Structure 1
Amino acid sequence: MSLNAVLDVLIKHHLNPENFNKREVVEATASMFCILVDNYVTKAAEETFYNLPYKDISTLVFIDQSIEIKSDTFDGFITTVKDEIINLYSSSNLSISQEHVIACYEKLASHIELALIQKKFMLDSAREANRVANIAQKQAEFAKKQAKKAKDMSNGMVTNFVTILGVFATIIITVFGGINIVGSTVKLLEGNNKLVYLVFVISFLMICLLTLVKLLMTWISSIKARDEDSDDIKEPSKKKMDFYSKSIICFFIAVIASAICIACTYKDQDIKNQTDENKSNNQNGIPFMNKEKSGKDEKSFIKD
């Protein structure tokens, strides 16, 4: 087994609190440390240095999925392993003094404990950051809903304002249109007293007025319809003929009928004028023919 594999197993024994009370685990941990300690303790100029692989130890602790270890439990396991190292020291043939071996193990255990504390701190920080992120997300969603609500309220106010303006515009156009129709009717009665002309003009003006009012009301309805929820599915209802359609049909029929009557009236007038002209021409032609005949009789009498 390589030294890295031995170190891996040694660190895992320190991270599994369920095996801290097992005798075989304690003995295996002490034996593995006695194998590795010669590589970690060096002497130079009568000074002792402990060259522990701190980076590898921290990496092994961080990637391990072990549960949280209580400090008292971990300290008890370290004490038990130290006692076992002392028992194994005489049979291990180590070139390092027992004091330095125990000191090296204490440094190893301290670094493992420090890595565990750092790991716990990072996990707690990550959980707190996640909690804060969730709170921030909820607040952002709430703010988004409030912004949407404010936007809908603003759109509703604008729509209501435009609707009110449209209603007033419709009323004004209807009133002035009615006044215009009355004025046109009065002028028509002053110039021509025929009922056919009156029906034709009134029907045509009413068609124009109703169409304009219908356009305004349709525009207002379309503005109101945009604010409603388009996702609501409504059952299709049978379309019925509204007041506008009935009125337009009636006035259109009146326009056509009056136009036909006007055309027939003009035709009768033309026929009457033609007849009067023919009669006038006939009356002017009879004296001329009588005068010509009397002249011929005089000539024949003189000749005789």
Structure 2
Amino acid sequence: MSIIADRLNRISPSQTIVISTKARALKAAGRNIISLSAGEPDFRTPDNIAQAAMKAIEGGQTRYTDVAGTPELRKAVAERFRLDSGLDYTAEEVIVSTGGKQIIYNAMMATLNPGDEAIIPAPCWVSYPDIVTLAEGTPVIVPCKRENGFKLTAQELEAAITPRTKWVFLNSPCNPTGAAYSAQDLRPLCDVLLRHPHIWIFTDDIYAKLTYDGFRPATFVEVEPRLRPRTVTMNGVSKAYAMTGWRIGFSGAPIELTKAMNKLQGQSTSNTCSIAQAAAVEALTGPQDF
């Protein structure tokens, strides 16, 4: 009899990690490798952020923090949401986790019951379906057409909705396609979701600052504030601030769900690294010209 739980047989290893590991092995063997696997900036964490981490170590900020993050960081996250997108989250509605992936894991584990469905536009980041499956939900993959810029349309969203739909994911800008949604793009999707009040929205905005030519992607609650009571807005410092290894993701969400995610995190990883949290405060509140 195998010691491995059945739930692990329902998911695959992270393909991002598999490819990244292979690329590192080939580089170590002397091969000239360009890895297109992980979303990894090719520049260093800014010096002011690194200095803030060293100052935190020297100042003794090396102990446990609140599970959901230090008050300073949660306040900084709430303020960054306000400055970047006009979103009105309180610090109590913010949780800080070990990267954006843990935010997704916490939210799905805290909400999905067996048979609940999560709509995932594709091409998509490879971990969404497996996290939903691990939480005993059912991923509903909706292929997005090339002629629509790989963006989910209102008609495709409406067709995928059933009475069992609990979540809709949206990653903008999208990993891997780069598809990014403007406010005009999101408006028809918001109209569909307003007609289906049983559905929650998970918006993954981790790449929101990596845009070009003056384009700024919108996010759901910014476009339609009436969706706020059932939306999780996720972001982090990994991509925009070149801090992938620091492992800091965060979200704003209704207080009931944030408390449930905090409860779950308290029985899994507890707080994120205190030093990384101090660095993230500097990232979010310091100079943004980087």
- With the length of structure 1 as denominator, give the TM-score of the two structures: 0.20
Greater C-alpha Rg: 1
The structure where helix makes up a greater share of residues is 1
**Whose RCO is larger (CA < 8 A, sep 6+)?**
2
The structure where strand makes up a greater share of residues is 2
- With the length of structure 2 as denominator, give the TM-score of the two structures: 0.20
